[in-house]
């Protein structure tokens, strides 16, 4: 069965029974086919009737991530991971990690990718992300420490000039 015929079959099934949980399968097929807006709309409509359907929430989060709607994706994926931490699977945790990474929150991304690594210990892509993010976080820490040290040196130099000016003023008054 082709992707489009599967989508058409699922769409008809959901149209016949709007309360059906088949909306989640339809949304996932839309997402896989790159029909991301359709996936989002289908998930949102289905989740209005079935708000606790975790896999549909993951599909929604992944579709939002693919659309670049990072904040919305993070909300959905966080909710899925928080509501069912042991059952959402590596795809949800990995997608949540990616939302954090794309937002520049590398420490959080590293924590999520590390959790994904526990769920999927032999995934070379996840292992690479953990390594790369670990190095990036360490580098960012070094840069922050260097910037803080630089600010401290500038402050010390300004205070030194200020104290020298006070000493010069006192010396002029005594003379």
Residue-wise pLDDT for 152-167, tens only, equals 888 888 888 998 888 8
Number of H helices, E strands in the chain: 8, 0
CATH of residue 77: 1.25.40.10
Please give the tally of structural domains in the chain.
Answer: 1
In the structure, what pLDDT confidence band is assigned to residue 49 with cuts at 50, 70 and 90?
very high
Nearest of 128, 144, 57 to residue 95 by alpha carbon: 57
Nearest of 48, 44, 108, 103 to residue 81 by alpha carbon: 108
pTM for this prediction: 0.76
Q: Which residues constitute the domain of residue 101?
A: 52-144
Residue 20 included in any domain: no
Residue partners of 44: CB distance under 8 A and separation at least 6: 60
In the structure, what pLDDT confidence band is assigned to residue 175 with cuts at 50, 70 and 90?
confident
Phi, psi of 43 (to 5 degrees): -65, -45
| Pair 59, 43: CB distance under 8 Å | yes
DSSP 89: -
């Amino acid at each position: 069965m082709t992707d489009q015929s599967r989508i058409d079959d699922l769409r008809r099934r959901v149209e016949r029974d709007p309360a059906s949980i088949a909306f989640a399968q339809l949304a996932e097929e839309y997402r896989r086919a790159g029909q991301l807006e359709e996936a989002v709309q289908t998930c949102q409509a289905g989740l209005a009737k079935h708000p606790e359907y975790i896999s549909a929430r993951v599909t929604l989060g992944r579709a939002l991530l693919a659309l670049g709607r990072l904040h919305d994706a993070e909300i959905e994926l966080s909710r899925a991971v928080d509501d069912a931490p042991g059952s959402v699977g590596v795809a949800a945790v990995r997608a949540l990690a990616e939302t954090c990474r794309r937002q520049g929150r590398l420490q959080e991304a590293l924590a999520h990718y590390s959790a994904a690594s526990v769920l999927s210990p032999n995934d070379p892509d996840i292992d690479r992300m953990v390594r790369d993010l670990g190095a990036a976080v360490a580098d960012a820490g070094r840069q922050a420490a260097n910037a803080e040290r630089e600010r401290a040196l500038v402050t010390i130099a300004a205070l030194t000039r200020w104290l020298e000016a006070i000493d010069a003023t006192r010396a002029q008054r005594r003379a």
